[in-house]
Amino acid sequence: MERLEQQMRFVTEIGELKGVLRQTMLAGLSRRENSAEHSWHLALMALTLTEHAPPGADIGRVIAMVLIHDLVEIDAGDLFLYVDPEQQSRQDAAERAAADRIFALLPADQASDVRRLWDEFSERRTPDAKFARALDRLQPMLENMAAGGGTWQEHGITADQVLPKVELIEDGSPALGRLARGLICRAVAAGFLAPALGAAGQPGEYAV
Amino acid sequence: MERLEQQMRFVTEIGELKGVLRQTMLAGLSRRENSAEHSWHLALMALTLTEHAPPGADIGRVIAMVLIHDLVEIDAGDLFLYVDPEQQSRQDAAERAAADRIFALLPADQASDVRRLWDEFSERRTPDAKFARALDRLQPMLENMAAGGGTWQEHGITADQVLPKVELIEDGSPALGRLARGLICRAVAAGFLAPALGAAGQPGEYAV
């Protein structure tokens, strides 16, 4: 098959990501977010928040990473952040199988470039991957704030469950980590997020 | 206002693009495409089709351009490609006003960078802008093919109206221009696209 033909099959196939729904509710639109528009939002966050990336990060690579990071969900679907380790492990296997199938639509050289980028995002060891993962963790928090609680309320998530997730944001960007802690504090104060299961609500604890 | 606070206001505001609907119907999803997921698709097309860009094109800039190109639609809405010049001129004015408001949410240096990129896309004089505009013109054709005619059928668009639009694709990429002509030919042959108003259907005329 000709290179352009392979590339166009990939371009057509990835359009399916517009039909993969995430847990995140979009405030004002009364519907869940899909993984394509989520990926677009992350790419624009990377472009806008470049100066908060770790030293040595290459924003072009970060953008490529967030653009492709969810393609595997075309086969594997999206998984909510707060699931048990067994569900997470099944999801990881399904995503690796999806990566094998979807990236292989591309010419071999491009397939291995995209696979390397996706593996790098998953492993979260490089500055680029750390920043990309921080954005991916921060964006649903912004949507939950805009939606007055969103999936936090829907699933009864508490601040003491969200706070450990912020460490990954801090690891990719101390400035965005501080911002995320401030968001949690405001979410608790606004009643969007319960402080802890059975706890009496001490928003002060969550101050940055 | 602190820089990060300005950046986060922009990041939050641009989420509105997920609610701006285009004419394009998404095959299999029974709904119109929104401008955020459309922009994501273009960015991944730029990444995938890099080797078909004009000499001297910088794909990082092309990607940034397609990611931001529709932000003005948050205020101005999306306009169908086949409208009269008066409607187009009103739309252009509305988009310039939208660019003034939305980009100004950013710190001044970033606002002027994004405005320059958006102006460059609009003017379509540089290799980067020519390639970005070619992708923006090609992608709805792919969706119409996948949808068995899509907006072509819905609005009674004919091949002799689509063909002049292909020149802009050719100008950004001869390879993608050839591909687009081939698509039109196949669309006529498949009955997705009428050859011309009142014409008897001579698909052979549209062969590449």
- For A55, the enclosing helix (H) or strand (E) is none
Question: Which residues in chain A are closer than 8 Å to B179, comparing Cβ atoms?
Answer: 4, 8
* Amino acid B201: pLDDT: 44
Residue B56 has pLDDT above 70, yes or no: yes
Q: Which tens digit of pLDDT belongs to each residue from B13-39?
A: 999 999 999 999 998 898 999 999 999
Check CB contact under 8 Å for A7 and B48: yes
Kindly state whether B68 is in contact with chain A, defined as any CB-CB distance less than 8 angstroms.
Answer: yes
Confidence band of B196 (pLDDT split at 50, 70, 90): confident
Helix-, strand-, coil-residue percentages of chain B, each rounded to 5? 70, 5, 25
Select from B44, B49, B102, B186 the residue whose CB has the most chain A CBs within 10 Å, as the one to mutate to test that interface: B44
ipTM above 0.90, yes or no: yes
* Amino acid A198: pLDDT: 58
Check CB contact under 8 Å for B179 and A8: yes
Residues 144-173 of B with CB under 8 A from A: 146
Q: Which tens digit of pLDDT belongs to each residue from A64-99?
A: 999 999 999 999 998 888 888 899 999 999 999 999
Check CB contact under 8 Å for B47 and A41: no
DSSP, residue by residue, B7-61: HHHHHHHHGGGGG-EEEEEETTTTEEEEHHHHHHHHHHHHHHTGGGSPTT--HHH
Task: Report d(CA A187, CA A189) in Å as an integer.
Answer: 5
The pLDDT of B64-93, averaged and rounded, is 92
* Amino acid B198: pLDDT: 58
Residues 37-66 of A with CB under 8 A from B: 37, 39-41, 43-45, 47-49, 51-52, 60, 63-64
Task: Report d(CA B203, CA B208) in Å as an integer.
Answer: 11
Confidence band of B80 (pLDDT split at 50, 70, 90): confident
* Amino acid B205: pLDDT: 47
* Amino acid A83: pLDDT: 82
Confidence band of A114 (pLDDT split at 50, 70, 90): very high
Query: Distance of alpha carbon A175 from its chain centroid, rounded?
Result: 18
Residue B43 has pLDDT above 70, yes or no: yes
Residue A37 C-alpha, separation from nearest chain B C-alpha, in angstroms:
4
Q: Which tens digit of pLDDT belongs to each residue from A115-173?
A: 999 999 999 999 999 999 999 999 999 999 999 999 999 999 999 999 999 999 999 99
Question: Which residues in chain A are closer than 8 Å to B68, comparing Cβ atoms?
Answer: 44, 47
Select from B48, B69, B102, B173 the residue whose CB has the most chain A CBs within 10 Å, as the one to mutate to test that interface: B48
Which of A12, A34, A106 has the CB atom closest to B37's CB atom? A34
Say what percent of chain B tops pLDDT 70: 94
Query: Distance of alpha carbon A165 from its chain centroid, rounded?
Result: 12
Task: Report d(CA A61, CA A129) in Å as an integer.
Answer: 9
Residue A179 has pLDDT above 90, yes or no: yes
Task: Report d(CA B200, CA A62) in Å as an integer.
Answer: 52
* Amino acid B167: pLDDT: 97
Q: Which tens digit of pLDDT belongs to each residue from B153-195?
A: 999 999 999 999 999 999 999 999 999 999 999 999 999 999 9
* Amino acid A111: pLDDT: 98
> How much is the pTM?
0.93
Residue A199 has pLDDT above 90, yes or no: no
Kindly state whether B112 is in contact with chain A, defined as any CB-CB distance less than 8 angstroms.
Answer: no
Check CB contact under 8 Å for B12 and A37: no
Confidence band of A1 (pLDDT split at 50, 70, 90): low
Residue A202 has pLDDT above 70, yes or no: no
Check CB contact under 8 Å for B146 and A60: no
Closest-CA residue of chain B to A68: B44
Tokens coding A119: 């593996």
Confidence band of B60 (pLDDT split at 50, 70, 90): very high
Question: Which residues in chain A are closer than 8 Å to B60, comparing Cβ atoms?
Answer: 60, 63
Which of B14, B45, B175 has the CB atom closest to A44's CB atom? B14
Question: Which residues in chain A are closer than 8 Å to B43, comparing Cβ atoms?
Answer: 40, 43, 63, 67
Question: Which residues in chain B are closer than 8 Å to A174, comparing Cβ atoms?
Answer: none
Kindly state whether B21 is in contact with chain A, defined as any CB-CB distance less than 8 angstroms.
Answer: no
Helix-, strand-, coil-residue percentages of chain A, each rounded to 5? 70, 5, 25
The pLDDT of A6-10, averaged and rounded, is 98
A82-86, A186-190, B8-12, B20-24: which range is least confident on average?
A82-86
DSSP, residue by residue, A150-169: HHHHHTT-BHHHHHHHHHHH
Residue A197 C-alpha, separation from nearest chain B C-alpha, in angstroms:
29
The pLDDT of B80-84, averaged and rounded, is 83
Kindly state whether B106 is in contact with chain A, defined as any CB-CB distance less than 8 angstroms.
Answer: yes
Q: What is the mean pLDDT of chain A?
A: 93
Residue A88 C-alpha, separation from nearest chain B C-alpha, in angstroms:
27
Task: Report d(CA B104, CA B173) in Å as an integer.
Answer: 33
Select from A9, A38, A48 the residue whose CB has the most chain B CBs within 10 Å, as the one to mutate to test that interface: A48
